[in-house]
Structure 1
Amino acid sequence: MVGTPTYDATRNRVEAYFDRTATKTWERLTSDAPVSGIRQTVREGRDRMRDIMLSRLPEDLTGRRILDAGCGTGAMSEILARRGADVVAIDISPQLVEIAEKRMPEALAPRITFTSGDMLSETLGAFDHVVAMDSMIYYQAPDLGRALATLSERVDHSIIFTVAPRTPFLMAFFAMGKLFPRSDRSPTMIPHVPARIAQETFQKGALGTLSEVERVSRGFYISTCLEYRA
């Protein structure tokens, strides 16, 4: 996929944030270490969302090749590998990938290929499934549609991903974020309506179906699981 100016700019902001600013925060959040009340709700929300996404896949993944797009510190990749999948785990942050590799049990290492870079790179090859938890939440609808259409050409079954839902609460935060300078802040989540993403995906040439699976709302973690089926 040839990146658009908006896609490339957002990807660069995300890389800078997670690889230079928030590495230690995410390392702690995704561990068993105590965290603040707000971060605890995010941890619980992410755990619930991971379970929902995994429930959309067969229990036995032997022989399936899966892309964990935005693998972070590797929690999803570990579960996929335990269920028999051959996993390509990619994240835009080399530091998070390094943490994931160190955390991975040695017995599962042969099932997982870790790498850093763009989750849409054609060099990653073809897959049975793609999972992308909270790695597409920063992109505009046209870029999401283009990303799904690009991935769909190399995916046999499904793309399971999350977006921020267009709720009054998140829209208020989104509007407030525009009032402040971009420096020293995390990338902004873009609230979406699933129908708009489906429209953009279809317009980019993908002929599969997009459906909403389930929303998770736990304190400051609010996210919707969507599934594209080829």
Structure 2
Amino acid sequence: MSYDATRDRVEHYFDRTATKVWERLTSDAPVSRIRETVRKGRDQMRDKLLSALPADLNGVRVLDAGCGAGQMTYELACRGADVVAVDISPSLVKIAEERLPQGLQHKVTFASGDMLSSELGSFDHVIAMDSLIYYTEADIRTALATLGERTSGSVAFTVAPRTPLLMTMWYTGKAFPKSDRSPTMIPHGPSRLSKTVSDIGILNDLGRINSGFYISQALEFRP
């Protein structure tokens, strides 16, 4: 599946199918035990990716690529960053805008659309948490090359690691009718990805988060 086709499928899922579920998951509302593990895992991953950036982000322009309901956007703005928060889902961008405290609104520019769009401008850093997990190795390379051309610092992002559990879930998920499942995560190995992008930059391993049904690998790309 091409990048455009995957992007369109992700947009359809988050903007029309899973908006309410995602809104609840990213709030303080009670959720099931399974979704609670996902919520805790995402909180831990957010902290891990933020730890790769300077503590003081005043005067630093950061792209929150795939901002979702705005949790990362909020944290970046609190640390002083000038944030461009973009998501493929207009519904999630609206939620993120509504949740952002009024005192931080001057620090954030929201946009709905492709996170790779050149119209978003240039950045000191990019964070793409769980927004590249549905893409192929070739698409991730293209995304990093595209973002790297407009980023002076780092691109911190996540992938689904090639663990036995995730690989089993992936192969099982592929057996389901496409209309009955969300966009399928594509597992990747950091070592192989590192070789794939070696001619355009350096890939650093930031660590893995394992929290029940949330398993994600943090990586840092420096062009």
Unaligned runs of 5+ in 2: none
| Number of residue pairs the alignment of both structures matches | 223
1:214 pairs with 187, 203, 207, which one? Answer: 207
Q: Paired residue for 1:225?
A: 218
Residue by residue over 1:90-129, the C-alpha shift from the partner in whole angstroms, topping out at 9 and shown as x without a partner, is 0000000000000000010000000100000011110000
TM-score by length of 2: 0.98
Residue by residue over 1:3-60, the C-alpha shift from the partner in whole angstroms, topping out at 9 and shown as x without a partner, is xx61011101100000000000000000000000000000000000000000000110
| Matches of 1:93 and 1:48, distance apart in 2 | 24
Q: Say if 1:49 and 1:225, in contact at 8 Å, map to a contact too.
A: yes
| Matches of 1:182 and 1:107, distance apart in 2 | 43
The structure 1 segments of at least 4 consecutive aligned residues displaced by more than 6 Å after TM superposition are: none
Q: Say if 1:86 and 1:112, in contact at 8 Å, map to a contact too.
A: yes
- How high is the sequence identity, in percent, across the aligned residues? 64
Q: Paired residue for 1:49?
A: 45
1:161 pairs with 157, 160, 164, which one? Answer: 157
The residue type equivalent to 2:111 in the other structure is T
TM-score by length of 1: 0.95
Corresponding residue SS for 1:32: coil
Q: Paired residue for 2:32?
A: 36
Unaligned runs of 5+ in 1: none
Q: Say if 1:142 and 1:197, in contact at 8 Å, map to a contact too.
A: no
Q: Say if 1:145 and 1:198, in contact at 8 Å, map to a contact too.
A: no
1:34-113 equivalence runs, <5 A: 34-113=30-109
The residue type equivalent to 2:8 in the other structure is N
